[in-house]
A and B are shown apart, each in its own frame.
Chain A
Amino acid sequence: MSDNSQISVERWNNLSVSVAIMVVVLFVLFAVTPMFVSEAAVDKLTILFIYVVLAVMWNALAGYGGMISAGQQAFFGLGAYLTIRFSEWGIEPYVALVISALLAGLSALVISGIVLRLRAGEFAIGMWVIAECVRLLVNLDPIIQGDTGRSLIALSALDPIERRELTYWISLGSMGLSLGVTFILLRSQLGSSIQAIRDSEEAAASVGVRVAATKRILFVIAAAGCALAGGLWLATFTTFQPRSFFGIQWSAYMIFMVLVGGIGRFEGPVLGAVIFFLIERWLGGTGVWYLIALGLVALIFSLFLPKGIWGYIEDRFHILLLPVGYRIRAPIVTSGESAHPGESSHNAQVF
């Protein structure tokens, strides 16, 4: 056998280090973008960042925790509603937005006691019921005025240009936060548990992974992230209408982005969000045909390319841009000592 010292465990390589540097540069460029582009472009980028947050959060839930939710709009809507509620009580809207996201995370901790016992499809529809409950409860608040909704009035006190840029930067920061948190989480020791659960919940439990606790952490993070996205969406469009914020279309969008981009891959949801954003720019005006196309593409991907575009690229070309796992690198064995010389020359990927 070959000498053990020649086998190394790799967490970064030259490619991924340069990609990580490029990501940081990209964020710096995004941060100064509002000074150079039109107001409409700033709004569009804000929307893109919110989509990335949603996709990354839904991927954390479904791709890593194995929890496919048809009800994340519960937290998206709750984040927006609480932001209005707190700003009506006189709290600065952007502060209200952050408090709302944290409170939504707290509510997810309570809800998790019930829904995390459900599996697969049961969880998906169970979350949908939760979203409906939250919508109905929010409707009971007189300031919402039923389906008429309510505007985030406190925002109009701010200068429109300042407001636009502030929302843009907070969205950019939220995107960075959601990516950073998942990246660090996945590379931590908990990350190994999470990825073990993704591959098989039963097998993970059998080797001592605390499945329930790990899933709960993901569930709470995803809820807070979706609530943050909801608050930002409200800050962008200013009017809260329960039917649109708690609408099932948000789940459809999240599923589309993650499924097309690559479920259970770190880079997948980002790619999916960009694709979704572009498709919406081109086809969003066609209304119902656009939705039919989204559903059809999701259906086709689930049947023929369940790992998504990024999953396909990764498997095909062995590219890891931002590795969240471990790569075991062994030297090529040329002598006949090894039983399977060919195999040991590959990079074994341990996610």
Chain B
Amino acid sequence: MSFLTSIVQGGLLGGYYAIVACGLSFMFGVMKIINLAHGVLTILAAFALWAIADKLEYDPFLALIVVLPAMGGLGWLLQRAILERSARSGELVPILSTFGLAIVLENTLFEQFGADTRSLAPYVGSLSYDSVDLGAGVRIGKLAILTFVVAVLLLGGLQLFLIYTHLGRAIRATAEDPETVELVGVNSRSVNAIAAAIALVTVGLAGLFLGLRTSFDPYAGSMQLIFAFEAAVIGGAGSLWGTLAGGIVLGIAQTLGAHLHPQGFLLAGHGAFLLVLMGRLYVSGPHFLFFRRAKLG
């Protein structure tokens, strides 16, 4: 694999990271909660798609029609039953409750599906290994291109939604100040629940592309959470397009790392994350809070 190919493939991998980071970043932007169950929920969506594809022999893309609304409903429930209540006890309690939820979910998945690794790739024909020749010896996968295009559409769509729709404006206003929006007739509880639903719909999408790109098992969630977090931080979370940039940087660092050393993939990704973090702390001084600064949209 040539150096140039690594960079192009790494950049496209960033498309997947943008999709998986989008929900995490969005939820933090609105509710100031970092959901530690984010990664496990991605795996849950992937298993749901796999189960439908395997048992009912539906195309995973078609299965989205069922899984995305279900994830949305789950997001609404998550906000109402867990996040809202734990956020009332302070900013630390949601970390504990979402961590507890993650443990419950991943072990329930293990109980249900066992330790076997699964993949959605067998259910989509040749999509996962078809590739396009770009010339100069660079070949890239069709799936990687599709993922990247979906990431751009998702982020762009979300941005347009936040800017131009009534609900989008209500979400941005709630993110600014949940008490004040109540004064102008916005029900911030409902808005938060809807925002959580939207976040989990993007998690459903992330589950699809995770399953198409690679194999997964019940405990693969923590890595997805870490990747999502790293992409969001590198890009300066809260900013949707920053998430894409962060994903691209993470993807390129990982593929180049893998190029250099068999264990380099993960280390290079973490290294890039820590370097960006240190750089930003150095620039912004001691009171830097990367998530707080960012405005939604």
A302 adjacent to B277 (CB under 8 Å): no
- Checking B103, B278, B288 against A298 with a beta-carbon cut-off of 8 angstroms, the contacting residue is B103
What's the Cα separation between A295 and B107 when bound, in Å? 9
Q: How many Å from the CB of A139 to the closest CB on chain B?
A: 6
Size class of the A contact interface (CB-based, 8 Å): 35 or more
Complex Cα gap A259–B110 (Å): 25
A248-B222, A288-B110, A292-B107 known; A122 and B93 CB under 8 Å?
no
Asked if A289 is at the interface of the complex by the 8 Å CB criterion, the answer is yes
A41 within 8 A of B: no
Q: Is the beta-carbon distance between A291 and B107 smaller than 8 angstroms?
A: yes
Q: Is B226 an interface residue (CB 8 A)?
A: yes
Known contacts A296-B104, A298-B100; is-contact A121 B95 (Cβ 8 Å)? yes
Specify which chain B residues have a CB less than 8 angstroms from the CB of A252 in the assembled complex: 99, 103
CB within 8 Å of B: which of A310-336?
Answer: none
B92 touches A295 (CB 8 A): no
Partner of B230, one of A129, A291, A292, A297: A129
Which of B99, B102, B290 interacts with A122 by CB under 8 Å?
B290
A-contact bits for B99-113, CB 8 A (1 contact / 0 none): 111111101101100
Q: Which residue of A lies closest to B91 (CB)?
A: A120
Chain A residues within an 8 Å CB radius of B271: 133
A125 on the B face (CB < 8 A): yes
Q: Given A120-B95, A124-B95 in contact, is the A288-B274 Cβ separation under 8 Å?
A: no
Main secondary structure of the interface of A (DSSP, over half): helix
Say whether A128 faces chain B, with CB atoms less than 8 Å apart.
yes
Q: Is B50 an interface residue (CB 8 A)?
A: no
B241-254 contact mask (Cβ, 8 Å, vs A): 1 or 0:
00000000000000
- Does A303 count as interface, using CB distance less than 8 angstroms? yes
Q: From A299, which residue of chain B is reached at the shortest CB distance? A: B100
Closest residue of A by beta carbon distance from B278: A114
Q: Are B291 and A122 in contact (CB under 8 A)?
A: yes
Q: For A66, what are the chain B residues with a Cβ–Cβ distance below 8 Å? A: 92
Pair A295/B103 contact, Cβ less than 8 Å:
yes
Q: In chain A, what residue has the closest Cβ to B101? A: A299
- Give the docked Cα–Cα distance between A26 and B92 (Å): 34
Of all chain A residues, the one with the shortest Cβ separation from B103 is A295
Is B92 a contact partner of A120 (Cβ separation < 8 A)?
Answer: yes
B33 at the interface (CB under 8 A from A): yes
Assuming A292-B104, A295-B100, A303-B85, is B273 touching A124 (CB within 8 A)? no
Contacts of B288 in A (CB 8 A): 117
Whether, in the assembled complex, B263 has its beta carbon less than 8 Å from a beta carbon of chain A, the answer is yes
Task: Confirm or deny: A140 has a beta carbon within 8 angstroms of a beta carbon on chain B.
Answer: yes
Closest chain A residue to B285, Cβ basis: A117
A124 to B274, CA, bound (A): 15
Contact with A along B261-279 (1 / 0, CB 8 A): 0010011001101100110
Do A139 and B263 touch (CB < 8 A)? yes
Q: Does B149 contact A (CB under 8 A)?
A: no
We find that the number of chain B residues with CB closer than 8 angstroms to chain A is 49
- Give the complex CA separation of A266 and B234 in angstroms: 38
Instruction: Tell me the residues in window 188-202 of chain B with beta carbons closer than 8 Å to chain A beta carbons.
Output: none
Q: Are A132 and B107 in contact (CB under 8 A)?
A: no
Q: Which of A121, A133, A212, A296 contacts B100 (CB 8 A)?
A: A296
> Are A133 and B270 in contact (CB-based, < 8 A)?
yes
Contacting pair B96 A259 (CB below 8 A):
yes
Contact B34 A129 (CB under 8 A): no
**Residues from chain B with Cβ under 8 Å of A303 in the complex:** 82, 85-86, 97
Distance from A11 Cβ to chain B, minimum over Cβ atoms (Å):
28
Query: Measured between alpha carbons, how far is A297 from B222 in the docked complex, in Å?
Result: 20
B18 CB-CB contact with A under 8 Å: no
Write out, one digit per residue, whether chain A residues 60-72 have a CB within 8 A of any chain B CB (1) or not (0): 0010001010100
CA distance A168 to B243 in the complex (A): 50
A119 and chain B: residue at smallest CB distance: B289
Does A271 have its Cβ within 8 Å of any Cβ on chain B? no
Interchain CB contact under 8 A, A129 and B101: no
Residues 239-258 (chain A) with a chain B CB within 8 angstroms: 248, 251-252, 255
CA of A122 to CA of B273 in the docked complex: distance in angstroms?
13
B225 within 8 Å of A (CB atoms): yes
Q: A205 CB to closest chain B CB, in angstroms?
A: 10
Q: Does B36 contact A (CB under 8 A)?
A: yes
Q: A68-B92, A295-B104 given as contacts; is B99 within 8 A of A255 (CB)? A: yes
* B153 contacts the other chain (CB 8 A): no
A120 to B87, CA, bound (A): 12
Tell me the complex Cα distance, A303–B102, Å. Answer: 15
CA separation between A291 and B218, bound complex, in Å? 13
Whole-angstrom CA separation of A132 from B226 in the bound complex: 9
Q: A31 at interface (Cβ–Cβ under 8 A)?
A: no
What A residues does B225 contact at CB under 8 A? Answer: 125, 128
**Please, could you name 15 A-B residue pairs with CB atoms under 8 Å apart, sorted by A?**
A68-B96, A114-B281, A119-B289, A119-B292, A120-B92, A128-B225, A129-B226, A132-B266, A133-B271, A137-B267, A291-B103, A292-B104, A298-B96, A302-B86, A306-B89
4 new A-B contacts, CB < 8 A, other than A68-B92, A119-B289, A288-B107, are A66-B92, A70-B36, A255-B100, A298-B96
Q: Which 10 interchain pairs have the tightest Cβ spacing?
A: A121-B34, A295-B103, A299-B100, A298-B100, A295-B104, A302-B97, A302-B96, A291-B107, A292-B107, A125-B229
Chain B interface (Cβ within 8 Å of chain A)? 28, 33-34, 36, 82, 85-86, 89-97, 99-105, 107-108, 110-111, 222, 225-226, 229-230, 233, 263, 266-267, 270-271, 273-274, 277-278, 281, 286, 288-292
